[in-house]
Every structure is written in structure tokens, then in C-alpha cells.
Structure 1
Amino acid sequence: MVDVVKITKRVVDTLESKGSSPAFLWDDALPGFAVKALLSGTKRYVLKYRVGGGRAAKQRWLTLGTHGQLTPDQARALAQQALAAVARGEDPQAEKYKSRNQPTLTDVWNRFRAEHLPQRKPQTRYEYENQWREAIAPKLGRVAIDDVTRSEVDRLHKSMRLTPYRANRILALLSRLMTMAEVWELRPAGSNPCRHVERFKEQPRSRYLCAEELVRLGATMREMVEKGNLSPSAANAVRLLLLTGARLNEILTARWDWVDRDRCVLSLPDSKTGAKPVYLSAGALLVLDDQRSHSADNPYIFPGRSAEGRMINLRKPWVRICKGAGLDGVRLHDLRHTAASIAVGQGASLPIIGRLLGHSQAQTTHRYAHVDADPALIVANAIGDVLVAKISG
């Protein structure tokens, strides 16, 4: 069924598909403009045109919209705009198809995750996955990569102003994804929308536990272990973090076969700054001796729930410890700061402290790579002497 008539709401409402084929109603005033009635009863406004002009040119069908959502006059206006574009040498259907099939930010993330994340350290992979899943994907994941604008990025960044450090890290990841989109030629070079988005000012935290807080911390952990409110392994992990100044992940991933009691070191094959030794004071070795009885045959010093798994984090136990000890605003990483502050108080030089803690600035560590391990071990023991007296009771 093919009819040619002026398309109005009244005639469109009466149009019905008969038999097994859609019915078409062609407009008698605008060439190529029609209504298509589907077997389902849906009616769509369409435009048939030829690219480049002439009967030999390629024929295209452009869907303008659905009757009910568009009036005949609105559909006719869209058809006129499309025909004007055709007259200028453009192809509206091709542009629509291109827009519909353009890669999204999620596509860029999936490629980045497959090609680049495996090269990153486990903690970095975990943080990137978390930042993408919780912050970026819900807001921008479905946006076409070429359509992500600076205003959208700025709006996302400012929505996290209450957590400035996290907001800046998420912005950094998003900027990295945009840079890779340029490398993969999915965006024009130099079009990174994260540029000129002002980062939040980050205030460096310098929280150290004082002598009285250390005493409360030690007493609280002992009491909690005795009452069964804290596992001995969790308490020992906190003690070892304090006594070594090591990073949380370095301690929780440590294995028994990395412990060298003769040299008094825990030899990490990898860390944030590469392979490094964690110096074990006499107090730290005593903690390890106690922990041995709690790890059974597990290869990890701090076992998890499975027979060969490890402890994943200390966040929940640490919250309970801080609440019991009355420690406000203290992070697990502040235990590392506390160890460093005690080392300074013992008169240790900055190079030795950098070596002791595995300083994050590689040039500082490498500059003093010739320093013998003994001075660092001496400082480790000095830290241990101060801390053991306070947290052991």
C-alpha cells in the first residue's frame, strides 16, 4: 500500500498496515518525506534521499522520529533540514550512524584496563578499578569519547570537593584515559578536557601519635585481644607497622620466606619503590615470633580466612581500635609517620630515615645506596626500644 497525500495528523492517525508489509504514506509536497506504519501499529516519520544527487547516487533512509513524539509539522521541519544538508553535500544518515557507533568512555576504559592495568602494581590496579567503578563510570561511562567536555569533567571534579585528595586522583585517572584516547586517535590531539580543570589544594597530613596515645593504643589492643574483640594477627600487624614504618600493603603481603633473621630484615621483592629491605628491630622480631603461632602453615605472615590466603586489609579492626583507644583522625598510614618522627627524635639523619622507610623519592634512596645496612638497623632498634616500652606495657 503506497499513498501520496499531504501528511497531516488526521491522515496519519488513520493510516494502518495491511497484510504482511508496512504501509507508507508519502507527502505530496516534500519529496522523500513519508510516514511508515509498522505491523506493530507504530508509525514513524522517514525521509528517503540520494547522496550526491542523480538516480545513480546511493539511496539512504533516515528515520526522523515516532508519530506521537513528533507532530507532522515537526517531522516535516526535520526532513527539510536534512534535505538542506544533502544539498550542501552532507549525508545526515551517515552522521547519525557515526554518532550512534562512536566509542564511549567505557570502551576506552576497557582497552586501558586490558592493555595497561596489568603492568601496574596490584594496589594501583585496585585503586583504578575502584575510581572507575564508583566515580567515573556512573557519570561519564556512556558518553561518546569525543563528546566528553571540560565542563562535564569540571562538574564531576567539583562534586567531590569534600574529598579533595580522592577527587584529584580520579581527575588524574580520567586525564590518563583521555590522553590514551588521543594516542588511539579516538579524540583530536591536544583535546584532553581535563586540562585547565583546577585541582583541589591538598593539605599534607602530619599526624603523629604522641607518647600518651601510644600507651593507650598498646593497652587497648591487649585488652581487645584478651576479650576476643580483636584477632592476635590484627594486633601484631599494627605493632609491626609501627615498629618497621613499613607501608600497610608491604606488611600484609609479606611472606615468611622473606624473613632473614640473621640479617634482621624482611626482604620485599617488590614495593611502591621496587625491591627493598624492611629492617627488623629486636622488638619487631619478637612480634614475628608471637605471630608464628597464629599463622599455622600459611605462607603469609598475616593469614586470611583461607588456608593459603592473606589478610586483605585492617580497616575494620583499625576503626575499632581507634574507637577503643580514643584516637581521633588517625589513619593506619600515620603509624609510618609516627615511626619516622621517633627516628628524627633519636637523631637519625634524613638519608638513614629514607633508607629505613624505603623513601618514595628514588633519587634520595639511590644517592645513599652505598650506606651500610647497620646504621639503619641501629635506628630501627632505637625506634623499637621506644615503641616496645610503650605498647607492650
Structure 2
Amino acid sequence: MPILKLTKRAVDAIGPVEKPTVFYDSELTGFCLKVLPSGAKRWCVEYRSGAGGRSVGKTRMVLGSTSAMTPDQARASAKTTLGAVALGQDPARKRSTERAMPTFAEFGERYLSEEAEAKLKPRTVVNYRIYLHKHAAPLLGTRKLDALDSADVSKMHRKIGKTTPMTANRVVEFVGSVYRYAAVCGLVAKGHNPATHVQAFREQRRERFLSSAELGRLGDAIREAETVGIPWSVDKDQPNAKHIPKNGRTKIGPHVAAALRLLILTGARLREILELRWEYVDLQRGLLLLPDSKTGQKAIILNAPALDILRKIPKVDCYVITSDITGQPRHDLNKPWKLVSTRSGLEGVRIHDLRHTHASYGAGAGFGLPIIGKLLGHSQPATTARYAHLDNDPLRRASDQIAKALAVAMGDDAVIGEALNTHNE
């Protein structure tokens, strides 16, 4: 066990060794130099962790190579390490833990494969992958999981929120889910979740209800698209506009047209129609028996027009609405919806607004919110409450009673009464 004062001159004077040899410093106990037969020289520090004593084995931790650290730098690092040991810490174990700690991107992938895919709906997992790869990973991905704090997540939230506030909120929710699973796995302390205190952007619910006139134009556009086709709209300012054939038209198939009509007539969600299998359709009882949906197992009532549509759809696949790939559901209706909505002057209206329209007609007809909620498959009454302001029958009756009393007071009860009777009819 060679002992000498570890100075630059002394280190340079150490020649080749036949086996790994440790040279200990004569002034700082625990500070040493390990020399390998290859000629490599590494600064080290030795200590006994915990309570110390002869019963505790020594831990030797490498500080760095002689080419990267001077003797004075290595000695200072050794003093810092030994000071931490005196305070009850284990620097080598801490370093090992830090090196084993995954980055946010690495653990995000682990969360998706181990937790999300097993417990969440496939569509939610797809969205979570987008949140990770497109938004969170580019900003937080390389950071160690235990090194992120609320300030980091809040900064990401603000950056995404400059363009898409709603997406920013969803990404923060995803980050929160990742950290809750990290706590379960023992990688971070329970309660450590940097997404917890990030305040969400205010979201304005986008609800659009089509009027009778708008529904009429939409119906005309769907019929035109499935029969003669909708004329092409050519931008004459484009360089290749003159090469585009004249009088071109775009048609949609019977399955796409049926999907659009079913969305309007049933108020179903888009995925519930696009992923509808024939085995879920009970024409005799007039039901769509969905084994799974956004709110779990669900039955959708089929009214007479919806039943007529389903009876006329050609059965060419296991899915009611066919796609380009046999045995797989259609991914979306983006192109046909843009075609018919533009043709009917409904730019900016979303497919999901057809579901809102279905509910608004029910509310306007005086059906109670519990009935509308059951038809739409809402799991929470608060979800249906958004249509309460459209339930105008009670308000209309109240207004009529007030007007009648006012008319009597004004002496115009005969004229006003006749108008009210006509209105009620």
C-alpha cells in the first residue's frame, strides 16, 4: 500500500505497474490514485458509509482521470466528497442512482407501454404519444426525470399555449400522469409531480348548433356529393391552375354519406360510427350495442331514419362504414366533411358540432336534460347541462304568462290573447 504526497511531480514519476495499484495520499486520508497496467491513472476517494467503523466495507469512488483533473482539483473534490460522507451521505450510491435515472422521454415511453396501453383507451394512448413526441419530448425529453420542476413544466406550457392553449393543457395533464406512475415505480418521491401546480389556460367551449336552414343546405350538399358530385373549386392564381381539367367534380361514396347522416340523426360520436361493426347493429330492436365507447359500454337508440339508412348500406366489410383497407375502420371523415361543409357555407363547423346540433334540437323540443343525456351516452349530468339554455319551452310558457298579465293590465288582453293562442298552436 504505497503512501506518498500526491503532487503532480510525484504522479508523473510513477512508472508502469504489472497490476492495478492504489497510491494513497499522505496528507488527506481517503484520497488516492489508482494506476492501471495500461498506464491510465485515476483520482479516487475511499470512505466507509453510514456509521463507519471497521464493520462497514470501504467504497472507492472515481473522481476523474489525471488528464482531466489536476492534483489540487482532485484533492478539493475528495474533501467535498468526504465532507458529504461525514454528514451521513453516500456519494457513490447517489451518483449511481443519478446515472440510472431515466430521462423524461425515456420514462414517458415506458409509461405508455406499461401503464397507458394497459389501462387507457386506444385513442387516448394515440393522443398521449402525440403529446410526448411532438410537444413534451422536444422541450423536456433530455432532462432527468427527477430534475424537472414546476418551472420547467410551466415554461413548456406557456410555449405550447402561444398557439394551441387547449393542447398545452392536455400536454400538462399527460406530464402529470407520467409522474404519478414514476412515483408508483419508486423513481420519484410520492407527491413529487411538477405538473400539479401549473394553472391551465382558460378554455372556451366550442359549441356550434346548426339552424334548420343550415341543416337544409348541408343535406343538399350531401345529396349532391353522393350523386353528381360537387364541382371543383380552382384557385386561378395558382401557377398550374390552367392545367386543371374544367368542370371536374368530387363525389363521396354511399358509406361516407351514410356516416354523415348517422352522425346527425343519432348524435353519436365520430369514432362510435366509424368503428361500428355490423355485429353491434340490432335492426330488430333498433339499437347499436357498443361494447366500448368513451364512457364504456353503451346502447344507442336508432330512430326510424337511422334504421332506414343502415338497412340500405351495402355490407362489404365487418365495419358498417368501410375504409380503403379491408378489416380496418376508417380513420376520419376530414376530406368529405370539408367538401360538404364548404359547399353548404358552413366553414369552421366541426363534425362534432353535429352531435351538439342533435342535442340542441332535443332541448329545444322540450325533452328533459336527463333524457338527452341518456340518448347521447353522457356519464355525468354536468356534461348535458350545457344544453340547458336551449330548453326554451319552460321559458316560453313563463314569458307567455307574464305577457298575458301585462296585456290585461294594459287593457289589450283580447288582441294579445289571440296572438298568444296562435303562438301556442
Q: Which TM-score band (shorter chain)?
A: 0.7 to 0.9
AA matched with 1:275: Q
Deviation at 1:138, TM superposition (A): 4.5
Three-state SS of the structure 1 residue aligned to 2:193 is: coil
AA matched with 1:342: Y
User: Which residue in 2 is equivalent to 1:85?
Assistant: 84
User: Which residue in 2 is equivalent to 1:131?
Assistant: 131
Three-state SS of the structure 2 residue aligned to 1:61 is: strand
Deviation at 1:337, TM superposition (A): 1.0
Cα shift readout 1:318-353 (whole Å, capped 9, x = no counterpart): 345445555332222111112222333444333332
Output aligned runs, 1:114-263, within 5 Å.
114-115=114-115, 117-141=117-141, 143-161=143-161, 162-225=163-226, 226=229, 227-228=249-250, 230-263=252-285
Distance across 2 between alignment mates of 1:54 and 1:270? 63
Three-state SS of the structure 1 residue aligned to 2:200 is: coil
* Closer/same/farther in 2, CA of residues 34 and 324 from structure 1, 3 Å limit: farther
Distance across 1 between alignment mates of 2:305 and 2:69? 78
Cα shift readout 1:103-146 (whole Å, capped 9, x = no counterpart): 66544763574356423333333333433443344444565544
User: Which residue in 1 is equivalent to 2:299?
Assistant: 277
Three-state SS of the structure 2 residue aligned to 1:45 is: strand
* Closer/same/farther in 2, CA of residues 39 and 362 from structure 1, 3 Å limit: farther
User: Which residue in 2 is equivalent to 1:369?
Assistant: none
User: Which residue in 2 is equivalent to 1:356?
Assistant: 375
* Closer/same/farther in 2, CA of residues 364 and 167 from structure 1, 3 Å limit: closer
Distance across 2 between alignment mates of 1:316 and 1:64? 61
* Closer/same/farther in 2, CA of residues 72 and 340 from structure 1, 3 Å limit: same
* Closer/same/farther in 2, CA of residues 280 and 86 from structure 1, 3 Å limit: closer
Cα shift readout 1:231-268 (whole Å, capped 9, x = no counterpart): 44233212211121110111111122332333333232
- Contact 1:16/1:23, CA 8 A, preserved across alignment: no
- More moved, 193-202 vs 52-61: 52-61
* Closer/same/farther in 2, CA of residues 109 and 359 from structure 1, 3 Å limit: same
- Percent identity among equivalent residues? 40
Are 2:367 and 1:343 aligned? Answer: no
Distance across 2 between alignment mates of 1:3 and 1:320? 85
Candidates 288, 299, 310, aligned match of 2:310: 288
AA matched with 1:208: F
- More moved, 182-191 vs 155-164: 182-191
Pick the structure with greater CA Rg: 2
Deviation at 1:47, TM superposition (A): 2.2
User: Which residue in 1 is equivalent to 2:331?
Assistant: 312
- Contact 2:111/2:181, CA 8 A, preserved across alignment: no
AA matched with 1:278: I
Distance across 2 between alignment mates of 1:265 and 1:159? 46
- Contact 1:240/1:284, CA 8 A, preserved across alignment: yes
* Closer/same/farther in 2, CA of residues 355 and 94 from structure 1, 3 Å limit: closer
TM-score by length of 2: 0.70
Cα shift readout 1:163-211 (whole Å, capped 9, x = no counterpart): 2222222322332343344455544343333332212111111212334
User: Which residue in 2 is equivalent to 1:334?
Assistant: 353
Three-state SS of the structure 1 residue aligned to 2:77 is: helix
- Contact 1:23/1:36, CA 8 A, preserved across alignment: yes
Distance across 2 between alignment mates of 1:239 and 1:158? 40
- Contact 2:7/2:71, CA 8 A, preserved across alignment: yes
User: Which residue in 2 is equivalent to 1:48?
Assistant: 46
Q: How well do the aligned residues superpose, as a CA RMSD in angstroms?
A: 3.7
Cα shift readout 1:337-370 (whole Å, capped 9, x = no counterpart): 12222333444333332232223426999xxxxx
Three-state SS of the structure 2 residue aligned to 1:65 is: strand
Deviation at 1:218, TM superposition (A): 3.8
* Closer/same/farther in 2, CA of residues 69 and 318 from structure 1, 3 Å limit: farther
User: Which residue in 2 is equivalent to 1:379?
Assistant: none
TM-score by length of 1: 0.75
Three-state SS of the structure 1 residue aligned to 2:160 is: coil
Unaligned ranges ≥5, structure 1 = 366-393
AA matched with 1:304: S
User: Which residue in 1 is equivalent to 2:405?
Assistant: none
Distance across 1 between alignment mates of 2:35 and 2:343? 72
Cα shift readout 1:29-60 (whole Å, capped 9, x = no counterpart): 43443455667776543223344556664222
- Contact 1:17/1:38, CA 8 A, preserved across alignment: no
Cα shift readout 1:272-296 (whole Å, capped 9, x = no counterpart): 233333233333234324432xx41
* Closer/same/farther in 2, CA of residues 39 and 235 from structure 1, 3 Å limit: farther
Candidates 225, 243, 264, aligned match of 2:286: 264
